[in-house]
């Protein structure tokens, strides 16, 4: 597991409400640009929340307190395009997954659930990561 100092973790008060417009039970988009956990996410960015199979919703639901961490993680795997329409990943997959774990803890997700979500993205995250690479997302 990524190292963490659990005594200092708390949900940052400066995180704004998430302006999410649901387009279905498993999808939505941001109605305006926001900054979450140090990353700017543009209006129109589409998300499925935490990509959790229904069987595991009792561990981590799709649109719960984990949503800010899930949105940032989504942006690390599938970043918004720059001004020239090119998508660049600034972190490795492992770094993005470690950041996801830390952000889950900051959001108030308990250690056991955060660890389970971290293990899941480490085991299964290669599929969407590789799919993004095939679609032209550049790894830096």
Question: Is there a domain that residue 2 lies in?
Answer: no
Question: Is there a domain that residue 104 lies in?
Answer: yes
Q: How would you label 35-70 residue by residue, b for 16+ Cβ within 10 Å and e otherwise?
A: ebbebebeeebebebbbbeeeeeebbebbbebbbbb
Domain count within the chain:
1
Question: Is there a domain that residue 26 lies in?
Answer: no
Question: Is there a domain that residue 119 lies in?
Answer: yes
Question: Is there a domain that residue 128 lies in?
Answer: yes
Give me the domain span that covers residue 82.
51-139
Question: Is there a domain that residue 78 lies in?
Answer: yes
Question: Is there a domain that residue 94 lies in?
Answer: yes
| Chain segment 56-93, per-residue pLDDT in tens | 555 565 557 788 999 999 999 999 999 999 999 999 99
| Chain segment 92-121, per-residue pLDDT in tens | 999 999 999 999 898 888 899 899 889 888
Backbone angles phi, psi at 89, to 5 degrees: -95, 125
């Amino acid at each position: 597991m990524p190292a963490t100092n659990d005594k200092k973790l708390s949900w940052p008060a400066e995180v704004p409400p998430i302006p999410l417009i649901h387009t279905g039970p498993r999808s939505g988009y941001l109605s305006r640009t926001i900054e979450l956990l140090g990353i700017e996410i543009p209006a129109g960015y589409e998300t499925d929340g935490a990509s959790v199979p229904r069987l595991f919703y009792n561990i981590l639901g799709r649109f719960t307190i984990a949503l800010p961490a899930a949105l940032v993680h989504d942006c690390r795997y599938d970043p918004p395009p720059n001004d020239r329409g090119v998508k660049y990943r600034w972190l490795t997959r492992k770094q993005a997954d470690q950041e996801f774990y830390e952000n889950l803890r900051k959001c108030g997700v308990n250690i056991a659930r955060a660890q389970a979500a971290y293990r899941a993205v480490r085991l299964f995250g290669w599929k969407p990561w590789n799919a993004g690479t095939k679609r032209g997302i550049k790894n830096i």
